[in-house]
Amino acid sequence: MRSSRNSWLTVVVLFAALIVLALLSANSLGSFGITILSGLFQGMLLFLVASGLSIVFGLMDVLNLAQGAYFMIGAYVAYDIQHAGGLIDVTAAIPDPNIRFVFAVIGAILVGAGLGMLLERGLLRPLYSRPIFQLVLTFGFSLVLIEIVKAVWSTTPYSWTEMFGIREGFFELFGQRFSTYRLFVVGAGFALIIVIGLLLQRTRTGIIIRAGVEDREMVQALGINIKMIFTLVFTLGCAVAALGGAIAAPFLGASITLGNAFLLQAVAVVVLGGMGSYGGTAVASILVGLAISVAQDVAIGTNFAALSSITPMLLLVLVLLLRPSGLFGSSR
């Protein structure tokens, strides 16, 4: 109990420090709002990559280095479905771009889930007794995925051109225009945090997963088919990453480097939150997202450009020095 109170205290202090910094560097309430919103936006994108990483690592001890590649695949699939002249051209069948975007997101999730199941079932399964080799395997698989993307969609990065309702929308607050789409991503992210949280806390499968994180062998001894659970969790993790790519694509476009850009930060987020702690990952994602955005603001003021890209790593190093097993990790 004491350790959990300390965790929350650290989190509150960090958040307070960030908000004070943001207030100090902002010159108006509007720009403060923009900083916070873009921080939450980045945090949510990070969460979408990191959540799968976190649950998979907690349960299966697999650090899935291909997670970033699934994010990238999600972005490409969503782009392809939304735009005309791609692999799947549905612009004629579904003329309304809003509805098409919904289908694009669903398509990305399905492709991500399918590829995730393929990786787990086909390749990862024989390797559970050799955890280090999984690193090589998932890394190799991510190379293959990137190559497939290159072959299908070529190497030139795409930027999103086909607009739809919420992507174009703006709303005003404190005399500042905010993009509705960012708000939508933040909302979707929070919804997902809650849904996955409920799934883990309230459902029978969720209880089995959490029990598996604690003690895998005991769960197996109770007669539960843990391999099924592994497949399920891994597929879910990849699907969530692909979903992240799909809803990030309207802002970031689709490019080969997209996946690995997020992967490093996502790994940092998982460790920052504490291995195997889902709530920790969620809190850490938001924390890192906010920190990046605040640091961007400060960096513009102080003419120190490296600051914003260095921030996640700096935060991680500081937290690990103070709390050796992350914010919410158990000190096992």
Partner 1 sequence: MSVTGTLKTTSAGFQWSAWLKSNSIPLFILAFLIAFPFIVGQMTGSSPYGEVRGERFIMRGASVRWQSVLIEIFILGILTMSYNLLFGFTGVISFGHALFFGSAGYILGLSLEYVAIDTSLGLALGVTLGILFCGLMGLLVGAATLRLKGVYFAIFTLAVAEMFYIFASRWQLTRAEDGFAISALPAWIDPAQSRLNFYYIALVLFALTFLFIKRLVHSPTGAVLKAIRENEDRAQTLGFDTLRYKLFAIVASAMLAGVAGLLQVILNKKVGPELLSIDYTVNPLLMTIIGGIGTLWGPIVGSSSLFMLDIFLRDSQFTVGGITVNMANIWGLLLGSIFIAAVMVFPRGIVGTSQQLWLRLRAKGAESPPKLHGAPPDQ
* Residues near partner 1 (CB under 8 A): 57, 63, 123, 126-127, 130, 132-133, 135-137, 139-144, 146-148, 150-151, 264, 267-268, 271, 275, 305-306, 309-310, 313-314, 316-317, 320-321, 324-326, 332
Helix (H) and strand (E) counts in the chain: 13, 2
Q: Is the dihedral of CA 46, 48, 52, 58 positive or negative?
A: positive
Our CB check for partner 1 shows the closer of 24 and 300 to be 300
User: Whole-number minimum distance, CB 287 to partner 1, in Å?
Assistant: 15
DSSP sequence for 119-179: IIIIIIGGGTT-HHHHHHHHHHHHHHHHHHHHHHH-SSPB------HHHH-EEEETTEEEE
**The token pair that represents 265 in the structure block:** 């930060």
Overall residue count recorded for the chain in this entry: 332
User: Whole-number minimum distance, CB 125 to partner 1, in Å?
Assistant: 11
Our CB check for partner 1 shows the closer of 139 and 158 to be 139
Q: Is the dihedral of CA 48, 272, 316, 57 positive or negative?
A: negative
104/298 Cα distance (integer angstroms): 36
97/87 Cα distance (integer angstroms): 17
Our CB check for partner 1 shows the closer of 157 and 165 to be 157
Our CB check for partner 1 shows the closer of 146 and 243 to be 146
Our CB check for partner 1 shows the closer of 229 and 288 to be 288
283/296 Cα distance (integer angstroms): 20
Our CB check for partner 1 shows the closer of 137 and 246 to be 137
221/287 Cα distance (integer angstroms): 38
Our CB check for partner 1 shows the closer of 24 and 144 to be 144
Our CB check for partner 1 shows the closer of 1 and 132 to be 132
User: Whole-number minimum distance, CB 271 to partner 1, in Å?
Assistant: 4
β-strands 176-179, 170-173: how paired? antiparallel
User: Whole-number minimum distance, CB 77 to partner 1, in Å?
Assistant: 19
DSSP sequence for 222-258: TT--HHHHHHHHHHHHHHHHHHHHHHHHHHH-B-TTH
22/41 Cα distance (integer angstroms): 16
User: Whole-number minimum distance, CB 137 to partner 1, in Å?
Assistant: 5
User: Whole-number minimum distance, CB 5 to partner 1, in Å?
Assistant: 22
Our CB check for partner 1 shows the closer of 66 and 113 to be 66
User: Whole-number minimum distance, CB 64 to partner 1, in Å?
Assistant: 13
DSSP sequence for 13-35: HHHHHHHHHHHHH-SSHHHHHHH
**The token pair that represents 162 in the structure block:** 């086909």
